[in-house]
Amino acid sequence: MFSLLGATTLVLVAGAPWTLPAAVGGINLKSPQNVEVHIIDDTFTLSWNRSDLAVGNVTFSADYQVPRNDTWLKLPGCQSITSTKCNFSSLKLNIYEEVKLRIRAEKGNDTSPWHNVDAFTPFEKAQIGPPKVHLEAEDKAIKINISPPGAKDGIMWALDSSSFTYSLAIWKNSSSAEVRTKTVYPRDKIYQLSPETTYCLKVRARLLPRKIGAYSPVHCIKTTVENKLPPPENIRIDAKNDIYVLKWDYAYENVTFQAQWLHAYFRKIPGSESGKWRQISDCANVKTTQCVIPQNTFQKGIYLIRVQASDGNTTSVWSKDKRFDPQLQSVLAPPVINMKSTNDVSLRVYISAPEESENKSVNQHYSVIYEIVFWENISNAERKTLEKRTDLTFPNLKPLTVYCAKARALTADERWNKSSIFSDPVCEKTKAGNTSKTWLIAGICVALLSIPVVSYVLKLLLRCIRYVFFPSSKPPSTIHEYLSEPPLRNLLLFTSEEQTERCFIIENTNILTAVEEPDQAGEDHKKYNSQTSQDSGNYSNEDESNGSKCGEDFPQEEAE
Amino acid sequence: MMGRCTLHIALLVCFSTSALAVSYKLLGFQLRSSSLECQELLLKLNGTSKYCLKDRMNFEIPEEITKSQPFQKEEAILVILEIFQKIFDIFSRNISSTGWNETTVENLLATLHWQKEHLETILEEIMEEENFTWDNATLLHLKKYYLRIVRYLKAKEYSTCAWTVVQAEVLRDFFFLDRLINFLQN
């Protein structure tokens, strides 16, 4: 018995080192599940789910691999992590290159199999975080200063910081607040606000082509008391020959104005623009609400112009920036419009670009839309449409009515807000309706077809009438044939004209006998003659007439 | 009725594509003149000094740009916009050490910005109208290329020679840009 016991303990002790590892390794540790990578600005996080439930002391480690290297390197910030999330932002990756990750669970010396994450490009996966907003209040405007998302020396948006576009949502801090959204520059002002009111806003960044960022936290600010001197309003620039005329509106008198300009791109570059505004010397301290600027002041580019009023003691705030593109200001010439009436009671309108004039109309280099005003000549009820197309049709009009149209060109981009004058109106009459047209065609066809029919009927009718009222004096055709022989014809139709017969008196009896014989022989001849002419009388004469000659001929004939 | 409906839709499609085709042609004209002005301004910035030859570097411009690989019109616009954006970004950095004429640099930035704005407007229109897909690879390669240039500038601490090298590189970019603009003309 003791030997048995001893043997079993020996076996147990000996077997233990084999069995124990088999019991622990491979069964419990499974690789983490639902592994995801999240990148917001410059923050890289890896998150996963535990596959085992509440097994203590399990840690997780991750590796990464870049395309040029075939080896797996340890992912910093993600080694021996006890929670289910890790941050590996400290790794200086090339954000435009693909990277591969893998993660596994570890417990002591045991490890789970690797869970491979699909290869990804950090830049593509990255999401835009909230931008930072700084606000400054004025009486009827709020100045905003937006810093691009991400850290200042971050790598994710390092090259794109000047390519962000920002959209802002603003509303009054009252209950029934209407939210206004607009696209803003990093340094911009929001106008048309009421003084001494609290406004709240939030901003988000957008990167073309398809990244839209998260909204910033909501910022609220109260506008100040209304200023004594309001800023000038409604700034506009018109080009004339070789000058620009800058005009604005101002309610009060006895004030002087000054104007400044800035390259618009400064709004997109980080840093202060305050020192970059330049005085427009031709508009310094003017007393009127306009000034004249020579055209060569502005080269190709986009500019911002602002005007300020001053009454000696106080100055107003700067007016709203007027966006100004010299290229566009030169001329938006009115388009050329043509109209044609089409068959189905509609009018087709053709719009073409204006001819190149001396003024170098540059509007053709911009995307232009057309505003077409269309009206019925008599009623004057106008129809306005905005179209990008240059060939359009107005259908379902009234037939045989005169309609008129005129068009003008507008810039497609609303920011420029430039339009040409209206072209001269063109008028055109619509054609007759579809139904009357088809009746017309049908009528013509019927008329054409009916002509031969009618003429045939008429012909028959005429024949009938002629037969009844004007019978012909011709005998019927059968009799006509029958009587076609000239002797009989002579007998029936002509009153006898005395036929004189030519008579020859033959005195010589020799000749008579000679004649008689051939008579017998000539009976055939006679008979022949009698057959041909069925009148015994005539034949003898004819025979006689021929007879003398025949008498001389007969012997000759008999001989033959 | 259906026949008429489809006819109207077909006409609309025809004319809208022809309208877009028209603006591509004009856009090509705009781009060419902008590119020419930028190159003239770049050449005005006095640059090449023989002391800078040692600072030359191969930035490895992406192959898709150097070989005349054909691009779809919309993709060409994306790539052209990317190039304008990145060149604008580069030249808006610390240029003070170069001693270049400030007005010339400002005009260069103004021209780049002007063209950028118009391209962005057109691209937003395209995004709204068509749901076209593009291959991100070319854009990523371009971004990598410009990142190399920016890193080089930072590493050389924006020295005059570094800027001279970058100026030469960017001039070369405009040459390839002109080729890209041709893809809009088809």
User: Which residue do the tokens 């003017």 mark?
Assistant: A286
All residues at 6 or more sequence positions from A505 whose CB lies less than 8 Å from its CB, including other chains? none
Q: Flag if A390 and B106 touch (Cβ within 8 Å).
A: no
A72 DSSP assignment: -
Q: String of b and e for A411-439 (b: at least 16 CB within 10 Å)? A: bbbeebebbbebbeebebebbeeeeeeee
Tell me, yes or no, whether B2 lies in a domain: no
How far B40 CA sits from the closest chain A CA (Å)?
A: 14
Q: In this structure, what token pair is assigned to residue A335?
A: 């388009």
Angle at A24 between CA A22 and CA A26, to 5 degrees: 75
d(CA A51, CA A49): 6
What's the predicted TM-score (pTM) here? 0.64
Name the closest residue on chain A to residue B81, using Cα atoms: A208
Tell me, yes or no, whether B158 lies in a domain: yes
Residue A448's Cβ-count burial label (10 Å; 0-12, 13-18, 19+) is exposed
Q: String of b and e for A13-32 (b: at least 16 CB within 10 Å)? A: eeeeeeeeeeeeeeeebbbb
Q: What's the one-letter identity of residue B59?
A: F
Q: Which CATH number fits the domain that encloses residue B28?
A: 1.20.1250.10
Residue B148's Cβ-count burial label (10 Å; 0-12, 13-18, 19+) is middle
Q: Flag if B121 and A413 touch (Cβ within 8 Å).
A: yes
Q: Flag if B113 and A365 touch (Cβ within 8 Å).
A: no
Q: What is the pLDDT of residue A361?
A: 43
How far B117 CA sits from the closest chain A CA (Å)?
A: 9
d(CA B179, CA A341): 45
How far A367 CA sits from the closest chain B CA (Å)?
A: 6
Q: In this structure, what token pair is assigned to residue A135?
A: 């606000």
Q: Are A340 and A348 in contact (CB under 8 A)?
A: yes
Q: Flag if B89 and A413 touch (Cβ within 8 Å).
A: no
**What sign results for the dihedral spanned by CA atoms A452, A457, A463, A466?**
negative
Element (DSSP H or E) covering residue B60: none
Domain ranges, residue B137: 23-185
Tell me, yes or no, whether B56 lies in a domain: yes
Which chain A residues contact residue B88 at CB under 8 A? 162, 265
Bridge partner list, A387: A370
d(CA A528, CA B58): 134
Q: DSSP per residue over A218-267, as a string? A: PEEEE--PPPSSPPPEEEEEEEETTEEEEEEE-S-SS-EEEEEEEEGGGG
Q: Flag if B150 and A208 touch (Cβ within 8 Å).
A: no
How far B3 CA sits from the closest chain A CA (Å)?
A: 15
Q: Angle formed by the axes of helices B2-44 and B160-182, to 10°?
A: 150
Q: What is the pLDDT of residue A213?
A: 92
CA distance to A64, A117, A382, per residue, from A125 (Å): 16, 13, 52
**What sign results for the dihedral spanned by CA atoms B170, B173, B177, B179?**
positive
d(CA A537, CA A535): 5
Q: Flag if A325 and B114 touch (Cβ within 8 Å).
A: yes
Give yes or no for residue B12 having a pLDDT over 60: no
Which of A367, A415, A434 is best to mutate for the B interface (most B CBs within 10 A)? A367
Residue B115's Cβ-count burial label (10 Å; 0-12, 13-18, 19+) is buried
Angle at A207 between CA A206 and CA A209, to 5 degrees: 120
Q: What is the pLDDT of residue A305?
A: 92
Which of B17, B89, B148 is best to mutate for the A interface (most A CBs within 10 A)? B89
Cα torsion at A12, A13, A16, A17 (round to 10°)?
Answer: -150
Q: Flag if B140 and A364 touch (Cβ within 8 Å).
A: no
Q: Closest to A301 (Cβ–Cβ): which among B30, B92, B114?
A: B114
Bridge partner list, A243: A240, A294
Which chain A residues contact residue B106 at CB under 8 A? 263
| Residue B86 touches partner A, C-beta closer than 8 Å | yes
Q: Closest to B89 (Cβ–Cβ): which among A162, A208, A325?
A: A162
Tell me, yes or no, whether B96 lies in a domain: yes
Predicted complex ipTM: 0.79
Q: Angle formed by the axes of helices B2-44 and B73-91, to 10°?
A: 30
CA distance to A8, A428, B32, B37, per residue, from B29 (Å): 95, 36, 5, 13
pLDDT digit string, tens, across residues B59-71: 888 888 888 778 8
Q: What is the mean pLDDT of residues B112-128?
A: 85
Q: Flag if B85 and A299 touch (Cβ within 8 Å).
A: no
Q: In this structure, what token pair is assigned to residue A19?
A: 């069995």
d(CA A132, CA A303): 26
CA distance to A23, A31, A461, per residue, from A107 (Å): 14, 12, 122
User: Which residue do the tokens 């990756």 mark?
Assistant: A93
Tell me, yes or no, whether B37 lies in a domain: yes
Q: Closest to B37 (Cβ–Cβ): which among A300, A367, A388?
A: A300
| Residue B110 touches partner A, C-beta closer than 8 Å | yes
Cis peptide before A209 (omega within 30 of 0): yes
Q: Closest to B85 (Cβ–Cβ): which among A163, A389, A412?
A: A163
Name the closest residue on chain A to residue B16, using Cα atoms: A389
pLDDT band for position B24 (cuts 50, 70, 90): confident
d(CA A150, CA A548): 152
How far B182 CA sits from the closest chain A CA (Å)?
A: 17
Q: Flag if B127 and A269 touch (Cβ within 8 Å).
A: no
Largest Cα span, chain B? 77
Which residue numbers in chain A have pLDDT < 70? 1-3, 5-28, 52-55, 241, 329-332, 354-367, 413-417, 433-437, 475-477, 480-501, 504-560
User: Which residue do the tokens 């000034």 mark?
Assistant: A291
Tell me, yes or no, whether B43 lies in a domain: yes
Q: DSSP per residue over B69-100, as a string? A: ----HHHHHHHHHHHHHHHHHHHTS--GGG--
Angle at B130 between CA B127 and CA B135, to 5 degrees: 75
Which chain A residues contact residue B143 at CB under 8 A? 96, 123, 159
Name the closest residue on chain B to residue A298, using Cα atoms: B107
Q: In this structure, what token pair is assigned to residue B31?
A: 């781009």
How many contacts, defined by CB atoms under 8 Å, are there between A and B?
98
d(CA B20, CA A163): 25
Q: Flag if B113 and A160 touch (Cβ within 8 Å).
A: no
Q: What is the mean pLDDT of residues B117-139?
A: 80
Q: Flag if B147 and A364 touch (Cβ within 8 Å).
A: no
Q: Which of A363, A360, A353, A364 is nearest to A295 (CA)?
A: A360
Q: Angle formed by the axes of helices B160-182 and B73-91, to 10°?
A: 160
Q: What is the pLDDT of residue A422?
A: 82
Q: How many Å is the Cα radius of gyration of chain A?
A: 59
Q: String of b and e for A480-510 (b: at least 16 CB within 10 Å)? A: eeeeeeeeeeeeeeeeeeeeeeeeeeeeeee
Q: Flag if A367 and B125 touch (Cβ within 8 Å).
A: yes
| Residue B7 touches partner A, C-beta closer than 8 Å | no
Q: Angle formed by the axes of helices B136-155 and B160-182, to 10°?
A: 160
d(CA B161, CA A541): 149
Q: Closest to A162 (Cβ–Cβ): which among B19, B92, B124?
A: B92
Q: What is the pLDDT of residue A40?
A: 92
Q: How many domains does chain B have?
A: 1
Q: Flag if A162 and B106 touch (Cβ within 8 Å).
A: no
Q: Which of A351, A398, A407, A354 is nearest to A379 (CA)?
A: A398
Tell me, yes or no, whether B12 lies in a domain: no
Q: Flag if B109 and A265 touch (Cβ within 8 Å).
A: yes
Name the closest residue on chain B to residue A163, using Cα atoms: B85
Element (DSSP H or E) covering residue A33: strand A33-40
Which chain A residues contact residue B136 at CB under 8 A? 121, 124
Q: What is the pLDDT of residue B2?
A: 59
Name the closest residue on chain A to residue B150, using Cα atoms: A159
Q: Closest to A263 (Cβ–Cβ): which among B15, B78, B110?
A: B110
Q: DSSP per residue over A391-430, as a string? A: EEEE-S--TT-EEEEEEEEEESSTTT--B-PPPPPEEEEP
Q: Flag if B143 and A124 touch (Cβ within 8 Å).
A: no
d(CA A459, CA A456): 5
Element (DSSP H or E) covering residue B24: helix B2-44
d(CA A142, CA A171): 12
Which chain A residues contact residue B86 at CB under 8 A? 159
Q: What is the pLDDT of residue B87?
A: 94
Tell me, yes or no, whether B173 lies in a domain: yes
User: Which residue do the tokens 């147990």 mark?
Assistant: A12
Phi/psi of residue A208, nearest 5 degrees: -70, 145
Residue B173's Cβ-count burial label (10 Å; 0-12, 13-18, 19+) is buried
Q: Are A425 and A376 in contact (CB under 8 A)?
A: no
Chain A positions with Cβ closer than 8 Å to B: 94, 96-97, 121, 123-124, 158-163, 165, 208-210, 263-265, 268-269, 299-302, 325, 327, 364-367, 388-392, 412-413
Q: What is the pLDDT of residue A366?
A: 62
Altogether, the residues listed in chain B come to a count of 186
